Amino acid sequence: MRRPLIAGNWKMNLNRADAVALSSDLVNADKSSEVDVLICPSHIYLDAVSSTLGDSGISLGAQDVYFEAGGAFTGEISTGMLSDVGCQFVILGHSERRHVMGETDSLINKKVKAVLEAGLTPVLCVGETLEDREAGNTEAVVKTQFEGSLADLSPEQVQKTVIAYEPVWAIGTGKTASPEQAQEVHADLRKLLNDRYNSETSEQVRILYGGSVKPDNASNLMSQPDIDGALVGGASLKADGFTAIINAANQNVA
Residues that bind ligand 13P (CB under 6 A): 9, 94, 166, 171-172, 210-213, 231-235
- In one letter, which amino acid is 75? G
Nearer to ligand 13P, 10 or 197 (CB): 10
Active site residue 94: yes
Q: Which of 175-210 are b and which e, b meaning 16 or more Cβ less than 10 Å from the residue's Cβ?
A: ebbebeebbebbebbbebbeebbeeebbeebbbbbb
Q: Smaller CB distance to ligand 13P: residue 4 or 211?
A: 211
**Residue placing its CB nearer to ligand 13P in the complex, 4 or 233:** 233
- Do 161 and 122 meet the contact criterion of CB atoms below 8 Å apart? yes
Q: Of the listed 96, 103, 166, 186, which one is catalytic? A: 166
Q: Indicate the residue among 9 and 79 with the shorter CB distance to ligand 13P.
A: 9
* Given the residues 94, 96, 128, 186, the one annotated as active site: 94
Residue 219 Cβ, how far from ligand 13P at the closest point, in Å?
16
Whether the Cβ atoms of residue 190 and residue 226 lie closer than 8 Å to each other:
yes
**Residue nearest to ligand 13P as judged by C-beta position:** 233
CB of 29 to ligand 13P, least distance (A): 19
- Within the chain, residue ranges assigned H as helices are 16-28, 46-53, 79-84, 95-99, 105-117, 130-134, 138-149, 155-159, 179-196, 199-204, 215-222, 239-251
Please, what is the minimum distance in Å from the beta carbon of residue 55 to ligand 13P?
26
> Any catalytic annotation for residue 166?
yes
Which residues form the catalytic set? 94, 166
